[in-house]
Structure 1
Amino acid sequence: MQSAAFSLFSPSSIPSLKLGKFGSNPRFDPIRVSSSFSDSKQPDLSASSNAVSIPSLPKRSWSLSSSSAFPLRAWTSVPSDSKADLFEVKATVAESAGEGEKSGSLAKTLVLGLLFGLWYLFNIYFNIYNKQVLKVYHYPVTVSVIQFSVGTVLVVLMWTFNLYKRPKITGAQLAAILPLAVVHILGNLFTNMSLGKVAVSFTHTIKAMEPFFSVVLSAMFLGELPTLWVVGSLLPIVGGVALASVTEASFNWAGFWSAMASNLANQSRNVLSKKVMVKKEDSLDNITLFSIITIMSFILLAPVAILMEGVKFTPAYLQSAGLNVKEVVVRTLLAALCFHAYQQVSYMILQRVSPVTHSVGNCVKRVVVIVSSVLFFKTPVLPINSLGTGIALAGVFLYSRVKRIKPTAKAA
């Protein structure tokens, strides 16, 4: 770049140069000529008839273009632009890196937003299709087995086609996962039983009590005492659920206690995952853990369903019961697909966000499911009932926020 600023002082324009007082065997460097000689000590250039008298040169450095094969060296008398160039290069690289980070962050945000949208959408359709089936087909254990069986098929296909890495499971890991699979079965089974007895909106209003069971079980089995903020957030949850239950048009005790049992089972699973899960170096990621739990749930529940309800999901039985075989089968399979999909997406979200953010998202999801089910099924809702549901859900949101507040350590 500097070659463009300075012209080349060609040595061919000087026929002969003799330098005095610079050693017996002087060497003339054709690459650069410097004016570092002071005016009082000018070299003697008149020893030859062909010598050319060179006037005092201005104090600057001459350099060849960058295409020269000779090395170029900057003289101290010349202010170098290398630092400015380096700064410019670094600034350009930093700017490019910043743009890359922004684009990467935007892409991650879009993916996370898409996952949240799918989580809510699959949950809405699961509750709608599941309610339609359970309303006419009163075999919740069989319905639960079908849901686990569809999930098992999807997991096997995912592992077979390497869509997700198939894990290597040890006996110790299976023993640790077994209690989680049992409470997973109970949680989903009791939810289906509740959906078959009461409105979808009421089931999810009762399931808003999950934080209450989480706090109680964590205190009992993990020794995690709640803060005053957490205890305070539980009051509107309990009060709102009680108010909604008293004013619920579809209320019955079977549906109420089934939903409560579902809360107990689901929160027991969370406590057990902390209590009996294998050590960290042998632990599994969330998606793999959910996949194994799904397969184990199907294997454990299938014989129980046959013993309790028999084989009642055949075209012959459905037809003899006066049901539309195609509608029941299609909606059951769609509900099972949405059931597995929304839980799979839920675990994918949990890998990307903090548990608190996931809890807030779950609270919003419950609101979306309640509103959509009320609109779809045209469920009669009294104003006082809506108020109770709103208070309970506000308490759940408050709980998810105050969970961030850590208890202050007492000074020794």
Structure 2
Amino acid sequence: MQSNAFLLSPPHCSSSSTWYLRHTDFIYRYPNFRLNSYLPKRISIHGVSVPSSSTTSLTYTSLSTYSNSCKWNSNTSKSGRHFEAIKSVHETSPPSSSSSSNSLSQRLELGVLFCLWYVSNIYFNIFNKQVLKVYPYPVTISLIQFAIGTLLVLIMWSFNLYKRPNITKSQLVAIVPLAIVHTMGNLCTNMSLGKVSVSFTHTVKALEPFFSVIISALFLGEVPTIWVLSSLVPVVGGVAMASLTEASFDWVGFWSAMGSNLANQSRNVFSKQFMVKKEESLDNITLFSMITILSFALNVPLTLCMEGVKFSPSFLQSAGLDVRELCVRTLLSGLCFQAHQQIAYMILQRVSPVTHSVGNCVKRVVVIVSSVLFFKTPVSPINSIGTGIALAGVFLYSRVKQINKPKRSE
């Protein structure tokens, strides 16, 4: 709460005379100010208590009560013919109706972002699975997805859709580990989707809280409470139950999903350490943009070493693939990948990490259900119960984390 004071020296006038403001610049800039006569010891202006003086006060009023004239108090001395202009903090505070409308618009905007986050993630998994079914080269697919994301980031910076950052050398060095684990996380996810069903991949990825607790304890010194550990029991038990009854179970797909959990949670821990350093800290969207560009650079040599050049038109035609359909679906999966990642960071800027975690849990439920319906994945009753228990455990973990903050070891 601030109040700005202006000291003006008016011409001499008697107590009964009226002095009109002749300074057009002042009137133009502050049309809602008026002169009042001598005030008591303390006055309240729009709920703000202001000390009075022996001089006449110039107070901010609404347009409806604006007066074109003002009277000087006869007690004003010759040497003190000044008046104090007090700008009410109400000028910077929106009315209650405006505040409620802003709050409503913010909630609507947040709701739209959550819907876009879920929809983009659903289509990313569907298009990705369709591509990996006929084109089993997950490293190449990861490279293409990072290339599309890099192109979108460069377009965003070139057209000033988002401010281009000035990255220092120390910031770049700190971001490299984030890019490495981000690259490994996306690669492991694609490897898992290529081997098992989408629903099973996301069921295994529900174990993210388990890895989060372990990595946070090792690197951040966060000691989990007994309630946090208890909430992990249904998560682990549910994933184990779903794995034992999964029709498309594959060890490569299972361990790839586990590797994705490890990489993603390591990225979160490194991000926390990065954001703590104010001299290196960046906003979430800029940080993700830099991670995307570096991940693309890291993925180029990795792709050449592991799979070679497998996306040339001649290779695709020799493999008997529909080049046009494959390219369209690959492009769509890359766009959806970048969209759901970018929107996730936008939501994280607007809500708390716990709310974001709960939203991520709901998103996983939506993705599992939609993928089962789209691909008509056979699901046994025990498998469904196991998946439900695991997801319920993730939700419980999020709520417990909100109630019981982790203690940091000294």
Q: Which residue of 1 aligns with 2:402?
A: 404
Query: Residues 170 and 280 of structure 2 are in contact (CA less than 8 Å); yes or no, is this contact kept in structure 1?
Result: no
TM-score (norm 2): 0.77
Distance 2:201 2:265 in 1: 16
Distance 2:275 2:172 in 1: 10
Distance 1:318 1:130 in 2: 17
What are the superposed Cα offsets for residues 341-400 of structure 1, whole Å, 9 maximum, x if unpaired? 000000000000000000000000000000000000000001110000000000000000
Q: How does 1:138-287 map to 2 (within 5 A)?
A: 138-275=136-273, 279-287=277-285
Distance 1:145 1:214 in 2: 26
Q: Aligned letter for 1:183?
A: V
Aligned in 2, Cα 1:253/1:70: closer, same or farther, shift over 3 Å? closer
What are the superposed Cα offsets for residues 115-139 of structure 1, whole Å, 9 maximum, x if unpaired? 0000000000000000000011010
Q: Aligned letter for 2:262?
A: L
Q: Which residue of 2 aligns with 1:385?
A: 383
Distance 1:195 1:313 in 2: 19
Q: Which runs of 5+ in 2 are unaligned?
A: 1-15, 19-65, 74-87
Q: Aligned letter for 1:136?
A: V
What are the superposed Cα offsets for residues 81-130 of structure 1, whole Å, 9 maximum, x if unpaired? xxxxxxxxx9x999970000000000000000000000000000000000
Aligned in 2, Cα 1:211/1:407: closer, same or farther, shift over 3 Å? closer
Secondary structure at the counterpart of residue 331 of structure 1: helix
Q: Which runs of 5+ in 1 are unaligned?
A: 1-28, 32-65, 74-89
Secondary structure at the counterpart of residue 175 of structure 2: helix
Q: When the two structures are aligned, how many residues end up with a matched partner? A: 331
Percentage of matched positions with identical amino acids: 70
Aligned in 2, Cα 1:93/1:371: closer, same or farther, shift over 3 Å? same
Distance 2:105 2:95 in 1: 15
Q: Which residue of 1 aligns with 2:294?
A: 296
Please tell me whether Structure 1 or Structure 2 has the larger radius of gyration of its CA atoms: 1
Q: How does 1:322-333 map to 2 (within 5 A)?
A: 322-333=320-331
Deviates more, 1:139-148 or 1:220-229: 220-229
Distance 2:266 2:124 in 1: 23
Q: Which residue of 2 aligns with 1:337?
A: 335
Give the root-mean-square deviation of aligned CA atoms: 2.6
Query: Residues 176 and 277 of structure 1 are in contact (CA less than 8 Å); yes or no, is this contact kept in structure 2?
Result: no
Query: Residues 149 and 292 of structure 2 are in contact (CA less than 8 Å); yes or no, is this contact kept in structure 1?
Result: yes
Query: Residues 223 and 406 of structure 2 are in contact (CA less than 8 Å); yes or no, is this contact kept in structure 1?
Result: no
Secondary structure at the counterpart of residue 353 of structure 1: coil
Shift of 1:404: 1.4
Q: When you count strand as a share of all residues, which structure comes out higher?
A: 2
Instruction: Could you list the structure 1 runs, at least 4 aligned residues long, displaced by more than 4 angstroms after superposition.
Output: 66-73, 92-96
Distance 2:308 2:283 in 1: 36
